[in-house]
Structure 1
């Protein structure tokens, strides 16, 4: 299966200025995702950016940066889907039409060894049209439709289960934003990264960290150090 891996990396960032080039454990943030993709067999890794500095860093890390993204695809309100379609069209124009498209967000730098290969394997074996990375959560959520109404729970408060006793059917799943795997026709026909037959790809809780704030940067760095320590310990496998 010919899989195009698109890593969209815009130069502007309001929450954490210049975050895609911020150093995290000795490397620019974007390089973590590039390295994970390049170390996964079968991925054609393309970085889509509007920023020449990011492009230089991405090329130095080994990614293909065949263009600078046009300004109309690099605004604050630009959705991700047209950015991915632009990358697909570029590859098609080169005569390299992909069978699948993996979308990786550079702001989710924590992915465990083998995660991307596992996603590709599940996508291929399941026959899915799109795969969405998620992390499991206990279903202890509340919501309030209107201020004058009492809040309601998404679970039976009279028979609250212990977290360790929850079955897969009782869990809820949060979309991480880290990883998507999609048939190209879904982008073309649905203008969406998700469509057709959708499968959940369950990731480790630590892989759900998404960097939007300075606190997120510190948290990601802490987890990277922790995982590195585990791997350096005899018998460690994280």
Structure 2
């Protein structure tokens, strides 16, 4: 298989201005995903899709390819990641059957050194067509605030250590996705066919969407020695 990392990073961000190039633990946010991808022996190329020349300049300096800026029509608030993936596939990739896109969202910069390689190993061992990264979730969910309804049996509230393996729940953490080129074309989605699930540690599962997240992730990265 030929693994190609794709890091989508548009310039606009309402929550945190210039989020993708804000300093996180001393480096621009996007740089972390680029460095992790380049450090993974199985990944042959690292591509960044962006509409921002500033982001493109930082990405190239970190060793990523930015063949061209993304069209403005693919950098709007409502633009889906899949639309960006399909654009990259059409213009920068070959679409060959052995091609696998490794989607790394820059807002999840904390990946431990072996996580990418282990995700690829998981993908191959399971003979998967796509892969999603997750982390264990021990949250108790409710819905309908005006008519509260528990999504668990609150009369028999389970202790974390008593939850059986088959009853554990996992949260999609947004960090790593693998998609065969043919699957992306067929389903127009990052997930399809036989889906593998790769479990990551809780500390790796923070997504930066607010200034609070940025502070927390920076601290976790420092504590992890990254």
For this structure pair, what is the TM-score category when the shorter chain's length is used for normalisation?
over 0.9
Q: How many residues align?
A: 225
Q: 2:207 aligned with 1:214, yes or no?
A: no
**What SS does the corresponding residue of 1:69 show, helix, strand or coil?**
coil
**What SS does the corresponding residue of 2:11 show, helix, strand or coil?**
coil
Q: Classify 1:19/1:34 alpha carbon distance in 2 versus 1 (closer, same or farther; 3 Å).
A: same
Match of 2:27 in 1: 27
Contact residue 97 and residue 180 of structure 2 kept, 8 A = no
Match of 1:108 in 2: 108
TM-score scaled to structure 1, two decimals? 0.89
Q: Classify 1:217/1:203 alpha carbon distance in 2 versus 1 (closer, same or farther; 3 Å).
A: same
Instruction: Write the mapping of 1:63-78 to structure 2, written as runs, cut at 5 A.
Output: 63-78=64-79
Say which one has the larger Rg.
1
Distance 1:138 1:24 in 2: 28
Distance 1:224 1:77 in 2: 30
Instruction: Write the mapping of 1:50-61 to structure 2, written as runs, cut at 5 A.
Output: 50-61=51-62
CA positional deviation for 1:98: 5.1
**What SS does the corresponding residue of 1:169 show, helix, strand or coil?**
helix
Distance 1:102 1:182 in 2: 7
Contact residue 11 and residue 51 of structure 1 kept, 8 A = yes
- Structure 2: any 5+ residue segments left out of the alignment? none
Instruction: Write the mapping of 1:108-187 to structure 2, written as runs, cut at 5 A.
Output: 108-138=108-138, 140-144=140-144, 147=146, 149=147, 151-187=148-184
TM-score scaled to structure 2, two decimals? 0.94
Match of 2:82 in 1: 81
CA positional deviation for 1:195: 1.1
Aligned Cα root-mean-square deviation (Å): 1.7
